[in-house]
Every structure is written in C-alpha cells, then in structure tokens.
Amino acid sequence: MKLKALFKFAYIFCSIGFYLALIISFFSFAYHIAYLWFPESNFAKSVGPFEPMYSYLIIYFEEIPAIYLDKNVIMLSFIATITLFLYILVVLRILHKLFKNIYRQSLFIEQNVKLLYMLGAIDLVLGSVFIYFDGLIFEKVLTALEITNATVEFTNIDYIETIISGVIFIMIGAALKVAVRAIEENKYTI
C-alpha cells in the first residue's frame, strides 16, 4: 500500500513539475528572443547582459566576452534551450502518465509499454540533441578564456549517455511487452 502512495505522489509531482517547467520555458524563450531580435528592448536591458546556459561548469568573466554578443552563440543557446525544455516537458508528461497508470491500474498494461518506448525515443533524440548543442556552446565559451601555461581540450561526446539510456528504456519497454503478453495469456488460460 505504501508503494501505491509513492506512485500517486510521483504522478502529482510530475504534473506540478510540468507546469513549473512550462512557466520557466516561456521566460527562457522570451529571454532568447529578446536578445536575438530585440536586443535594444526594455526587456533585454532589464535582465542584464546575455549569458548562455551550459551545464558543465560555471565561468564568471570579469567583462562580458565578445562571444556572448555573437548571434550564432545566442542562436545555439536558443536551440539548446528549446530542446532542453521540450525534453523536460515531454519526459515529465510521459512519466506523469506512466506513474498514473501504475497507481490506478498496474505496471503490466499495454499503454505503459508504449510510454517506455516513447521515453526511450525522446531520450535518444531530444536528450542527445540538447547535450550536443550544449557542448557546442561550451566549446565556443572555452575559446573566450585566456589561459596561460595550460591547454584545455573538450570532447563533445557526452550525448552518448542519452543514447545509452534511450536504448535501455526501449529494452525495458520490450521486456515489459513480453511480460504484459504473458499476463494476458495467463488471464485467458485460467
């Protein structure tokens, strides 16, 4: 019975997280649109200088580097932000449905198989695209650093993690499909 309450909490948490991510995504899209097409607008001025979001580490510049003013970097950041929030929103919606199904019915239903396949596909596509673009931004920001007495190299292959996790979700979906069919056959033979 305690697990049932946990699944109910999980689907409610995913629902709340979805709406919070939706609100944050609107602000983030407006932020990028302002810097891409309306850099002199009051909104762009009110949020300060453009700083792209990348996930590897935080770099504080004493002066805003010229690379942050480059339209290509802003566009890369915009594409990465779009894919990140699409990824988050779709994953939260799928998890909401999955946990709701588990809470109300069972794990072993055909709809959950489809949800796990979708989760794997989303991880493969949107997760990999986001991490790839995020790495491109990070590479460009590294060029703005003035490092003496050292060389910094960055290989942008972290998207392999999302490819592996996407394949794992698809494999779990395939295993669940076999279990669902076995349960369905067992219902009819008894």
Residue 101: per-residue pLDDT: 93
pLDDT digits (tens, 9 = 90+) for 15-74: 999 999 999 999 999 999 999 999 888 988 888 888 887 776 777 778 888 888 888 888
Is the residue at 58 inside a domain? no
Is the residue at 164 inside a domain? yes
Mean pLDDT over 63-90 rounds to: 90
The total of structural domains in the chain comes to: 1
Residue 95 has pLDDT above 70, yes or no: yes
The residue ranking higher by pLDDT, 183 or 188, is 183
CA distance 46 to 53: 18
Is the residue at 142 inside a domain? yes
pLDDT digits (tens, 9 = 90+) for 101-132: 999 998 899 999 999 999 999 999 999 999 98
Residue 56: per-residue pLDDT: 67
Instruction: Round the CA-based radius of gyration of the chain to a whole number and report it.
Output: 21
Is the residue at 148 inside a domain? yes
Residue 51: per-residue pLDDT: 83
Residue 190: per-residue pLDDT: 60
Is the residue at 56 inside a domain? no
pTM: 0.87
Q: How many CA atoms lie within 13 A of 107 on its CB side?
A: 10
Is the residue at 57 inside a domain? no
Residue 168: per-residue pLDDT: 96
Residue 68: per-residue pLDDT: 83
Determine the structural domain holding residue 133 and report its residue range: 2-50+63-189
Reference 134, options 59, 31, 54; nearest CA is: 54
Is the residue at 101 inside a domain? yes
Q: Between the CA of residue 112 and those of 10, 177, 180, what are the distances in Å?
A: 15, 9, 10
pLDDT digits (tens, 9 = 90+) for 126-179: 999 999 898 888 888 887 787 778 777 777 788 889 999 999 999 999 999 999
Is the residue at 162 inside a domain? yes
**Residue 151 backbone class (left: φ over 0; alpha: ψ -120 to 50; beta: rest):** beta
> Do residues 79 and 133 touch, judged by C-beta distance below 8 A?
yes
